[in-house]
């Protein structure tokens, strides 16, 4: 078989990794850079990659938990961080959400739970974290997530946002919908961890007692 000039053999799908590169002398001269290309220099990879998984987690769902499991396999340490947001009226306090999260991450030794005020990137820096982990469920999440990721990158270029998809079985779940369905008497079994479901039942009866 005749090979093109400068190539020694033809690549097939099977031996793709052995695709031969043209000999230096045979490279297209018009592709040689006139000025060496430069991109923004970023800090090198740290020896231990620490990631922050931030959110409201009011309450944690099985979609969040699925992402925590996936993240725990990718990063040396994963810190699930609850935003302390005074302006929101959460169903569960930050302390209750911390307890719920701690209960469900016990199986993952490299996962910790924390909370934060202020800028997420400052919280990441305080933990020497270089990754922000966020879940993307549908294309509708993308616009807001992109804005946040680019703003966070502008604030701290060394912190990378990584988007992950949870198992498709959980891709429609949100804390807001779980609370709405539960409040209206629908079943949320399988959408949140069993301990969270039990807490929702307790919270509902507390609210009903208060309201009575
Ligand atoms: O679970 P949520 O409510 O979608 O999480 C949103 C969260 C906590 C990730 C976001 O509100 C946040 O990072 N808040 C911290 C304030 C901040 O850093 N803002 C500027 C980044 S765009």
What is the Å distance from ligand 1's center to 154 Cα? 15
Question: Is omega for the bond preceding 59 within 30 degrees of 0, making it cis?
Answer: yes
Beta carbon of 55 within 6 Å of any ligand 1 atom: yes
Instruction: Supply the pLDDT for residue 208.
Output: 85
Name the residue of 56, 121, 122 to mutate for ligand 1: max ligand atoms within 8 A of Cβ: 56
Segment-wise mean pLDDT, segments of 10 residues, the chain, 212 residues: 44 42 64 72 94 98 98 98 91 97 98 98 98 95 96 97 96 96 97 98 90 76
Q: Is any atom of ligand 1 closer than 6 Å to the C-beta of 151?
A: yes
pLDDT at 16: 38
- The pLDDT assigned to 21 comes to 54
Whole-number Å distance between alpha carbons of 141 and 163 = 11
Kindly state the helix (H) or strand (E) to which residue 51 belongs, with its residue range.
strand 50-55
Closest atom of ligand 1 relative to the 151 alpha carbon: 22
Q: Among positive and negative, which fits the CA dihedral 34, 35, 36, 37?
A: negative
175 is catalytic: yes
Would the CB of 149 count as within 6 Å of ligand 1?
no
pTM: 0.84
pLDDT the model gives residue 39? 87
Instruction: Provide the pLDDT for residue 17.
Output: 44
137 belongs to the catalytic site: yes
Atom of ligand 1 nearest to the CA of 83: 8
Q: Is the CB of 83 under 6 A from ligand 1?
A: yes
Q: How far is CA 136 from CA 26, 133, 143, 147, in A?
A: 45, 10, 10, 13
The reported pLDDT for the residue numbered 14 is 42
Return the best residue to mutate from 120, 154, 161 for the ligand 1 pocket (most ligand atoms within 8 A of CB).
120
Q: What's the pLDDT at 26?
A: 65
Question: Does 88 qualify as catalytic in the annotation?
Answer: yes
Which residue out of 52, 55, 138, 142 has the highest number of ligand 1 atoms within 8 Å of its CB and is therefore the one to mutate? Answer: 55
Sign of CA dihedral 71, 72, 77, 81: positive
For 177, half-sphere exposure in the C-beta direction (CA atoms, 13 angstrom radius) is 12
Whole-number pLDDT of residue 1: 45
């Amino acid at each position: 078989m005749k090979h093109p000039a400068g190539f020694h053999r033809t690549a097939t799908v099977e031996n793709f990794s052995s695709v031969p590169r043209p000999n230096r002398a045979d490279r297209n001269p018009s592709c040689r850079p006139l000025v060496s290309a430069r991109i923004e220099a970023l800090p090198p990879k740290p020896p231990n990659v620490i990631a922050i998984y931030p959110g409201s987690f009011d309450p944690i769902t099985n979609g969040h938990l699925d992402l925590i499991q996936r993240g725990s396999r990718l990063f040396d340490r994963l810190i699930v961080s609850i935003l302390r947001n005074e302006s929101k009226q959460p169903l569960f306090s930050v302390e209750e959400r911390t307890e719920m999260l701690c209960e469900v991450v016990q199986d993952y030794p490299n996962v910790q739970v924390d909370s934060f005020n202020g800028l997420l990137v400052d919280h990441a820096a305080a933990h020497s974290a270089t990754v922000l982990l966020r879940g993307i469920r549908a294309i509708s999440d993308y616009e807001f997530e992109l804005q946040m990721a680019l703003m966070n990158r502008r604030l701290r270029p060394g912190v990378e946002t990584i988007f992950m998809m949870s198992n498709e079985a959980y891709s429609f779940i949100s804390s807001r919908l779980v609370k709405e369905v539960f409040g209206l008497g629908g079943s949320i079994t399988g959408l949140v961890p069993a301990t969270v479901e039990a807490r929702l039942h307790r919270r509902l009866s507390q609210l009903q007692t208060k309201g009575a």
